[in-house]
Amino acid sequence: MTTAITVHQVRRPAPGLPSPDDFALVSGPLPETTEGTALVENLYLSVDPYHREVMEEDPLHQPLEGRALGRVVSSRLDGLHPGDLVFHRHGWRTHALVSEGEYSLLPGWEGVPLRTRLSLLGGTGLSAYVGLTRIAKIQPGETVFVSAAAGGVGTAVGVLARLMGAGRVIGSTGSPEKARRLVEDFGFDAAFDYHDGVTERLREAAPEGIDVFFDNVGGDHLAAAIDVLKPHGRVAWCGAIAQYNDPANPPAAPYNLYDIVGKSIRLEGFLVRDYRHVQEELEEFLVPHLRSGAAVPAETVVEGIENIVEAFIGVLSGKNIGKMIVGTGRE
């Protein structure tokens, strides 16, 4: 390729879902490699719910920050050579310049697809792993409930909880079809459409209560989980999709918040960026399961940089199953 394409945010979004008009495709010459930099051709790009919050804060007329996997094209940076595969955070573009400290070399795990480094072996899987092991401290035989269970982090929680010996894994999602697929394709014991009533359906799925709630939503899901959690249950709070599309009007606090005291529930929020040191531990745990087929990544892959905005809006409106990944067609 002799032309680089970047996807710029050109205006702040109105409340609700972003619009394609909030972005613009910008073409230009390939960035020039200077001393201490390497030019990377991106192969796979990540779009995530947190980008909706980033849209309220990042400068306009430049690409959003985002996770990316790419191949080095040229390098004037010690330690990087043409053909090397790297992870970096200069996404939403076909080509990126990286410098020291802005990339990590990707190990070559035979039998593990490259894009898995953005799903189960990437920040998505690390979020699930940290939430289960460091925050909730899951124990074998426990019952785990996951909100937004058909999303990237949600499906990863289901996979990892099962590998860690959970006795029962329950998920909520946005449609009967997704609920069916969670059970039939991704190893959940039960799943339900949250439109049918979260508390009622959760009680049906876990009549003896839940031990762990992995929350990606907040709002009514957190209230329902507090109702159904056993005494000394744990909540790992990873995200709050319920407020991403209208951050100025977040949902009210759960009506039963004080029950956290009465039940001695522990609720802890976390940011995966504070746990980068756990990445190697995740890889050691998960790579053998990926090779054996015991762990199967849930991924929705959209091809073409020109479709990245559509993929992003799809994540926010629940169009994906598993991790949403954009391929540039260059692998």
Residue 253: its pLDDT value, please?
81
Residue 331: its pLDDT value, please?
78
| DSSP codes of every residue in 137-176 | ---TT-EEEESSTTBHHHHHHHHHHHHTT-SEEEEEESSH
- Of 144, 141, 128, 122, the residue nearest 287 (C-alpha): 122
Beta bridge partners of 235: 213, 267
> Which residues touch 182 (CB under 8 Å, ≥6 apart)?
149, 150, 155, 158, 171, 173, 188, 191
**Residue the block writes with tokens 């080095």:** 72
Residue 252: its pLDDT value, please?
73
pLDDT less than 70: residues of the chain: 1, 241-251
Q: 189-224, pLDDT tens digit by residue?
A: 999 999 999 999 999 999 999 999 999 999 999 999
What's the CATH fold of domain 3-114+298-327?
Quinone Oxidoreductase; Chain A, domain 1 (3.90.180)
CA–CA dist 280, 181 (Å, integer): 30
Beta bridge partners of 214: 146, 236
**Delimiting residues of CATH 3.40.50.720 domain(s) in the chain:** 123-273
Beta bridge partners of 144: 169, 212
| Tokens linked to 243 | 């407020």
Report H helices in the chain.
51-54, 123-130, 152-163, 176-186, 198-205, 219-228, 241-244, 259-262, 279-292, 308-316
Q: 56-111, pLDDT tens digit by residue?
A: 999 999 999 999 999 999 999 999 999 999 999 999 999 999 999 999 999 888 89
**Delimiting residues of CATH 3.90.180.10 domain(s) in the chain:** 3-114+298-327
Q: Please state the CATH superfamily assignment of the domain spanning residues 123-273 in this structure.
A: NAD(P)-binding Rossmann-like Domain (3.40.50.720)
pTM of the model: 0.92
> Which amino acid is it at 248?
A
